[in-house]
């Protein structure tokens, strides 16, 4: 059987990642029409891989396909936002409970180091966003349920459509850091109910700030 030559990454996946980052950076605004012809010309590609990329982003919820009108960056309604936060709160509370009961000393040290990085990043909103997400995703990885992690990964992509609003409110970064500190304290104390309560409060406050 002849060898099959595979590229490291399919072209449409590379295009999807480029568009994904543009959406997260607000270069493509929520509710905005995606000009396929312009983007295809800019990337130097045909519209076929671009359309495949848009299908990927539509499956993630970042793009909405409208019949005879093309692709648009998804615009989050208040209900969408509440629904996403609700599910994230349920799933991440569950993961945090698992970790509070079973985390190793090394895992807790790693999370504490990440928390220290977060505390040092309060003056840089973008860095704070990035480290905050790393903490949440690392906690999920440690809790070791790949299905839960996959669902949260997808939900967090959608949440980024609104993420810039969530920490713009005066004092929200400091409040978020304090909430993370409460979660860390509960994890170190092996306090399962306390960890769940702290995570629930963290998401409730995040939703209030994002609204």
pLDDT computed for residue 165 by the predictor: 57
List of domains in the chain: 11-73 (1.10.10.10), 78-210 (1.20.120.530)
Give the tens place of pLDDT for each residue, 21-47.
999 988 999 999 999 999 999 999 999
pLDDT computed for residue 8 by the predictor: 47
- Residue pair 72/34 in contact (Cβ under 8 Å)? The answer is yes
CA distance 40 to 47: 6
Give the tens place of pLDDT for each residue, 7-20.
546 899 999 999 99
Please state the pTM of the whole predicted model: 0.83
Closest CA to 97 of 174, 166, 187: 187
- Residue pair 188/182 in contact (Cβ under 8 Å)? The answer is no
Q: How confident is the model at residue 196 (pLDDT cuts 50, 70, 90)?
A: very high
Give the tens place of pLDDT for each residue, 59-81.
999 999 998 899 999 998 889 99
Q: ∠ CA 3-9-13 to the nearest 5 degrees? A: 140
Encoded tokens for 28: 């493509």
Residues 6+ apart with CB under 8 A from 81: 162, 207, 210, 211
- Residue pair 122/177 in contact (Cβ under 8 Å)? The answer is yes
pLDDT computed for residue 86 by the predictor: 97
CA distance 211 to 209: 6
- Residue pair 127/121 in contact (Cβ under 8 Å)? The answer is yes
CA distance 38 to 41: 5
DSSP SS3 for 91: helix
- Residue pair 90/204 in contact (Cβ under 8 Å)? The answer is no
Average pLDDT over residues 74-97: 95
Q: Which residue has the tokens 């807790």?
A: 108
Give the tens place of pLDDT for each residue, 129-144.
899 999 999 999 999 9
The answer, yes or no, to whether residue 6 has pLDDT greater than 60, is no
């Amino acid at each position: 059987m002849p060898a099959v030559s595979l590229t490291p990454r399919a072209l449409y996946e590379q295009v999807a990642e480029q568009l994904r980052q543009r959406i997260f950076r607000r270069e493509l605004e929520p509710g905005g029409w995606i000009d396929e012809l312009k983007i295809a010309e800019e990337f130097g590609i045909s519209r076929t891989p671009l359309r495949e990329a848009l299908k990927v982003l539509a499956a993630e919820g970042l793009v909405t396909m409208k019949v005879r009108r093309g692709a648009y960056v998804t615009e989050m309604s208040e209900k969408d936002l509440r629904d996403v936060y609700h599910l994230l709160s349920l799933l991440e509370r569950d993961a945090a409970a698992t970790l509070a009961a079973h985390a190793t000393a090394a895992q807790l040290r790693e999370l504490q180091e990440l928390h220290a990085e977060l505390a040092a990043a309060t003056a840089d909103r973008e860095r704070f966003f990035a480290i905050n997400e790393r903490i949440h995703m690392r906690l999920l990885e440690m809790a070791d349920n790949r299905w839960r992690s996959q669902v949260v990964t997808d939900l967090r992509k959608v949440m980024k459509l609104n993420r810039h609003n969530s920490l713009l409110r005066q004092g929200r970064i400091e409040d978020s850091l304090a909430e993370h500190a409460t979660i860390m304290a509960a994890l170190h104390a092996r306090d399962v109910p306390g960890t769940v309560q702290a995570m629930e409060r963290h998401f409730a406050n995040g939703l209030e700030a994002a609204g």
